[in-house]
Amino acid sequence: MKFATLLKSTRSLIKRWTHYRDNAARAERVREYHASGRVPWSKGYADWREYEISRTIRDHNILNKIRDGFFPDGYGKGLDERIAEYGWLFSRMRSGSLNFLDAGSTFNFSYLLNTPQIENRSTYIYTYSPESPSFPERRISYVYGDLRSLPFRNEYFDEIICQSTLEHIDMDNSIYGYNLPSKHRGMGRSFEYLNVVYELVRVLRPNGQLMITVPFGAFEHHGFFQQFDNLMIERLLQPLREAGDVHVNFLLYTPAGWIFSTQEGCSGAISYNPHTGVGKLNDGAAHCRSVCCVAVTRHS
């Protein structure tokens, strides 16, 4: 056997063994998570959440149901808003070879990138600084900078997703390892996120789709993020309605899991901040209890 062939075979065996070992360790953490009562953010929580998200976004029956405005019974019980957001986003994502922008780097995970919806796209991930892991071998284009000043030409992207990102604009992002000069003072609302919205609309092609999700309910300032209230949602929707046709959904966490709700039904929701313990209730919520999801098709 030639050396190159032997080396390739050895690398393949190591990769398979590593995959088996990692899966076994992950399965053990999940078993421990369930055995200990499925406490959010405890050992095994992240593994179980990844499994549930991965299962959802690969199941067309579940995605079709979500697109029609329904979650399966018990959907995402004990899990944070990511399970609701990814289900909603993947249910509405378009097919085909598209120029795609992840504005905020919430798709920079192997189990998300390795899906039919993403694999055939020209994918750009835009965030402030490099992250680990990254996947340049998948031909992902990583671009770094401030979302309020995108380096892309007008009308470049067919589809843009800005998931749970706008609430961090002009906030204290040191928790993520960086911080930008803030125009925000005090504990009131910052509307600086609108500058990101204008930029996202600018780089979206006619007939292209922009999807945005933000935590929603009673206004809250948590330092590193702010929870949007009715006023902030109205300000968010104004430039989007001017740009195109808008579809809005409100998702609500209940002790039985995530459900579709109404703006009125979600307007009093409070978030649980796992870093501070603020907002913790005996309902199994892991983070934000309500999310506003917006899809915009830009006018041709």
Contact 133, 157 (CB under 8 A): no
The pLDDT assigned to 21 comes to: 63
Cα-trace Rg, the chain: 20
Average pLDDT over residues 91-105: 96
- Residue linked to tokens 């409100």: 250
Alpha carbons within 13 angstroms on the beta-carbon side of residue 113 total 21
pLDDT at position 11 is 60
Q: Give yes or no for a contact between 147 and 199, defined as CB atoms under 8 angstroms apart.
A: yes
Q: What is the DSSP letter of 145?
A: S
Query: Is pLDDT of 82 > 90?
Result: yes
Residue 14 binned pLDDT confidence (cut-offs 50, 70, 90): low
Of the candidates 50, 53, 52, 44, the one whose C-alpha atom is nearest the C-alpha of residue 26 is 44
Please tell me the predicted confidence (pLDDT) of residue 178. Answer: 78
Q: Determine contact, residues 228/292, Cβ cutoff 8 Å.
A: yes
- Using an 8 Å Cβ cutoff, are 166 and 212 in contact? yes
Tell me the pLDDT tens digit for each residue of 132-153.
999 999 999 999 999 999 999 9
Q: Are the CB atoms for 164 and 146 separated by under 8 Å? A: no
DSSP-assigned letter for residue 291: E
d(CA 55, CA 86): 11
Task: Return the half-sphere exposure (C-beta side, CA atoms, 13 A cut-off) of residue 104.
Answer: 20
Q: Mind listing the pLDDT tens digit for each residue in 172-181?
A: 888 888 777 7
- Strand pairing class (244-254; 257-261): antiparallel
Give the predicted TM-score (pTM) of the model: 0.91
pLDDT, residue 177, reads: 80
pLDDT value, residue 182: 74
pLDDT for the residue 174 = 87
* Average pLDDT, rounded, for the chain: 92
Structure tokens at 172: 């204290």
pLDDT band with cut points at 50, 70 and 90 for residue 17: low
What confidence category does residue 187 fall into, taking pLDDT thresholds of 50, 70 and 90?
A: confident
Residue 214 pairs with which residues in a beta bridge?
Answer: 292
Which amino acid belongs to residue 120?
A: N
